[in-house]
Amino acid sequence: MCQDLVAKVIIAYTDASIIKVPLSKNTYVAAIGVFFGVNDPKNLSEKYEESSMKSDIVEIHASISAQAVMRAIQAAPNNGFTLKIFTDSQAPVKASEKDTPKSYFPKATADLKKAIKNRIGPVDIIKIKGHSGEPGNVAADKLARDCAREQLK
């Protein structure tokens, strides 16, 4: 009986870090961070697959933020539990909505919607304020930032 009262929820925080390459005109390195909890083996930091980018910074940020949320969905157990993903970017929240136009960062939107569709349990993507001291967001930010900085070495 008591087990039925326990909320079956998995919580993850995601963040992205984009750093301009010093002495370059328009080149960036980027990484994502996904934080499930202190010392959780599902935590991850990965360089963005298009690591050396020359593009519109807004498009880069939207794509990498959606990628971070998608990786959280892939890393979480697919056990029917609700997955709550907190992000400080509006882009993945908008990209996950049913009525999002196909022209809204098309690849990122399509990939994210596919990941949500393939998950057994519900996915809630929640926008939070960045750099506000929220411990999960701070941890995800550190994972992403450290990975991005490592690419500059």
pLDDT for res 101: 73
How far is it, in rounded angstroms, from Cα 97 to Cα 23? 39
Say what the pLDDT of residue 55 is.
58
Q: Which of the listed CATH numbers 3.40.1390.10, 3.30.420.10, 3.40.50.720, 3.30.360.10 matches domain 2-151?
A: 3.30.420.10
Global pTM value: 0.87
Low-confidence ranges of the chain (pLDDT < 70): 1-7, 49-56, 58, 102-103
Q: Cβ distance 91 to 70 under 8 Å?
A: no
Separation between Cα atoms, residue 100 and residue 112, nearest integer Å: 12
CA–CA separation, 97 and 119 (whole Å)? 16
Closest listed residue to residue 32, CA positions, set 49, 53, 9: 49
The confidence score (pLDDT) of residue 50 equals: 58
Given this model, what pLDDT does residue 60 score?
A: 73
pLDDT of 5 reads 45
Tell me the HSE value of 100 on the side-chain side, using a 13 A CA sphere.
20
At 16 the pLDDT is 93
